[in-house]
Structure 1
């Protein structure tokens, strides 16, 4: 391997070797920081000496042998090709010198008899008279003192000898030149050859040799930034790169910093003096070079010199490690107690210089201890900031330490309630461990106000309703003592409680205090709107009200209830299509804020939206995602909502095995006292209906209706239990009771609820005479097309196709059956597709003449053409379309002619199912 950027140094050494061969002895000292190629240079010189006819005699200094007298010199004599008599003499002198030094009182000073020194050096000089010698000593800074004395003696006598003496010495972490070095480099025969770190060009050349030209072209510049010109670090980076290629089978686009790099960093540091390693540990802990002396108890001058040495070695840049992997490797090498002590000191230093609370808190957490009076306050401040920034895990760690360190009972309870809210973002089940202590604090009178509400909400989530009632009653008994903030929080909590835990509203004290903060006001408005939607018929301004709330909301510490209530209000009010975009935006925000429980709860809302727009695969996917992010055990009584949505979507897609698996999941009995239980009863009832257990289905639907009536939330947009019960009665052969329920459902609907109306009309049609069914079913199809629910639209079109077929209108039946099949396939509704396939008159799958219509062609239609085509596709005649749209029959024919031409079709049955379902069609 070539010596990159070392040609000049090697040329100078070649010249010194030639001088020595000519009888002009020379001494050279090669210096440089760690891993700059000193050893490689001496090895290359040894090879050149042998090629030139000289003898290369080598030795390597070792830290482990520094206290062994004459250890390094003995290496030279063992390596030198001495005749037997001289070798025996040399061994005797070494033995005598070692024994004398070992027993001498001043052994540490390397005391050795001058006659022994003279005798040993004479043997080497005599050998040089017979043969030119290159005496090469690597890492001389690790040599024992006695060997250094002998080598200094020899160096002063090389001038007339055929001898070149070359030493290499590391400057890594050394602040001054040793006395013996000045003695070696006397003018006239001593030469100093300093080696610098590789330049950027040098790194590129070495990278080409190690990894190839193509890899070097891509990565050399970044490798230079990571290694600082240190060849050892560069070789480690190349090794990590090769390991990544071997593991993945692909060339990484960016440098890979792995185990080899970390090991090389520690290899460099272990070659240094202990003081340098201590400073490196200080840098790894505290990103403030100016305070290293106080952190490490090393005087400022030596600390700064150590930083300069680490920088020259390529480990540091601008006072910090060049890569986090280097910092991590250094910290991993520190024992737990020492590391904690370093962080403890660093916390104090950071606080004293006014560092951010985040920096101070991080040091306190790593120290696992708080001894300063300001520590708890700093941790709380840092936790609040972390929650605002979406660093929930960090906030939890800060709060746990603050709670552990706090000695004031009331303050500890406040910290714990904040901790409950923070951990709730990650996993609500973790809060269960704090509930007994918080309940005990309530009994002692320590837990008060809004903190008691936090406890009540947590108890409700976990189904501990008796304890929750007790907390709410406790608040009610002290209603006159509540502060303004708590009263305002009660006002915002009351409508939220009504929407989800309706039976417990009576236990919550009433509050007349106005909501003062913007955040609480939005939460109150969203919950009140949701309560209005599920307890009565939604007004025409619901969507505007909700979207105004959503526009001003972000997922900060307290806003998930606001966002969730607003999205559900929009969905239950019949505007699921408008809720989808908002929901996606907040799901993304929850992801960026790393709040798993929020991601899961919003995924459930997104699944609800998907169910109501007929996106069955999407609904199943969102519901599964919610259950994967947050396992069932963490959902408490809310488990009913994701399970119900997964069951409903899987049923519609015909995946009965998955449905049975979900129904086997244990659910808490307390769930049936919540809104989540209503959704679950509907889903379980639909499974019983699909499997012909009609009595069980009817029981679940009626129980759902009884609960909704008792709670005052009997709105069609929440759970359409009447429609489900009516369908059950139809299957039982009791159309009269089915008709009564369908009519009740329709009476409760307004024009703002096209989906619920459409489903009701479909069921009403099934209870009437055959000749009246097409009219009702076409009205239902219009409404469902406007609502955006493709699944319910496809169900209605199936019924419509079957009605036309029964009336003998096979052409219409086939045309509508074709569109129903297309929609069923889009929704992946296997049972619907199967129902169509079983009726040969409605099965159009084998029609080779049915062309595919591209979405781009549909986009070419005008609004008027789309309206006409959409009605024609569901079986309306030209006259009926004209009456419906208040246009002439001729105009209808013209629109259809242009539509056929643009879509490249020839008949109504070829009209696509992907017409714009959001167009308003007057009914």
Structure 2
């Protein structure tokens, strides 16, 4: 075991032990260069028994090669590919360059990586070690991050070594951090050997205990200096100056060896055959490196060349003149000319060898980008196009490459890179049509990774610029601006923009579906459901007949628009079909919106457990794919469920986070939805004053922005009830008039009429008619919670009117619904009213199924429908072991022993909540 690393090693060994126990582990070893990360991983590999080790090494030059790190890591287990579901296998084969099918969404390869690691762990526990993980290509890093979150129940331990402050953030995805600091003075003595106490103190203080720096000092200093008999150099060659120490060692080598080291350093593939060819082309030989091998700067074995430390490689490369570095890359490119598998690597060497525009090199890089796209590696494609543009003469071709690179970076979730390329393109664009396309792309980047407010003005301005050149393009830009206005919670402005664009695009087949969605949704939000719903239906039908992406990045909005129109039942069916298709195709980036639509629709029709499952999954996948703006809606829904079920602190925390993120991303529509959720929560908690204050603010904001669709956030009916209970009848009457106007205007939302009639029943002297009319409206709306609220209010008035027997009938119905849903605070109110009516009702003991977690319920439902563990795992993007673990919990909690019993239990409806 390494001296001085006992505690850090113990943490890694614990991770390996967790893998042996099928509990999974993921760790990141972080520290500065030379601190001992590589040695610690090697020590772990030597000491780990009974595991199969998969290894990869991040290399700077390979960060521009699609899935280079993943290819190296998974190579020993590729024989297990036939075990994967066909779509997963196809996605991973395409990503690793083993197949010929085109895969556009990288998340299919990420999910397949998860599946392959899980399959490998079926044979023996897996220890995956990745050194210099900060240098991994983006797709490989994301595949590991995605997989590690879902291997908690598998015999897999993933350990990454990374420099402090570099690489992507693995820790936020559940990786435990093992931070390496300097060695203790005692451990430093073991590295230095014979050294006086005073010198030890100086060297330890000067190096901070960095093992590499200590070893280099022990090599550079004389025995007399180490013993304190001679003075030490001042300053010590440590810290940033350690590269100078390496430089001094290299400078002492023969000139041919120094030149050979530059070529070896430029070829980070480590393949001796490439280095040897390049050396011969420059009149050098592999034997020129023998001296460097002798002084332990490099090692040559098994056909590979390795530098003793990355800092030695970078020093050998950086100390050479720029012209020498370019010549080294050119020699390597020439050496790879006859090697087709090295075509991408050769293109990058050619790019590093030139500082002048070169169309041949640019075209080669564009081919690299095309290949990366087909393999689901948009980050690599974006980088290749970025460099291709750098070596392209200014003009339309360069602009095209910049815009294509920006689009690829956008797909890869790299908005900063995308915006930088867009800025570069805008500086050269003189074609107004190309400019409009660039600005539209900029708007999409900002929408998903920034905020909506700045892009609406951008889109409107660009539409005015391009109007004379291409009215259709101008109209599409205004439709985008309309969608941005909806995210900003401004349906009035959205309607204006959409209606302005509609005449120009309604007869254009390419854009009509998107226009129908934008115009239809804007009309529905403005309360004009009669004219909006037919257009929305047209957009949905178009998508269901063909391509989910026909509506561009707004496809997920169509189901929510249908819910806004009061069509919850059909929205559930349609969004579930879409989600099933997206799961099958591995299109995770489109899944959060579809899952949220399922969640909201299920909440509306009283399937709260299913709503919670879908919302949690929507939230998790939105985080996985980097769509921070799409985390806001599922958080709001989970807050709503927490509030009506009595988990008030949890609900308030979720709403606060949703509102904060909404503000950060310009999604001001959360002020309506999130505000209403908070108001409903305070109503559930019985804090009427807080509920009134919150809901009044929601009402002011919504009405000012032109929100006339009561279904999107029925604040008015909640506010009216709160004001009535506070005795503010005049204010309640004004609120009721707003609600009744909206109900009449929309014409398609029975729930608004039902809510208005319920509130009328609370204040009318002859209340029976209002409540009965409300219950009749509820018959048209599959929302059991709202019906139960009406029954509760009706029962309250009947009891206070002395009609106790009649009150008990409706109160029993309300209590039964609240208990079935788990609406604990509302059930308490109904129980208290029943007790007041003279009935001693017993509270229902929750079924054991109510204690299933959302994911356990998902697993139970899939298995009950006949899915195998592997099929369920593929559907939920987890491993079969995770399914097995959840299923064992389900069996125990429900008291069943077989899949048949489980199916019967679920069919009986005992888990319905």
Q: Structure 1 length normalisation: TM-score?
A: 0.49
Q: Structure 2 length normalisation: TM-score?
A: 0.49
Larger radius of gyration: 1
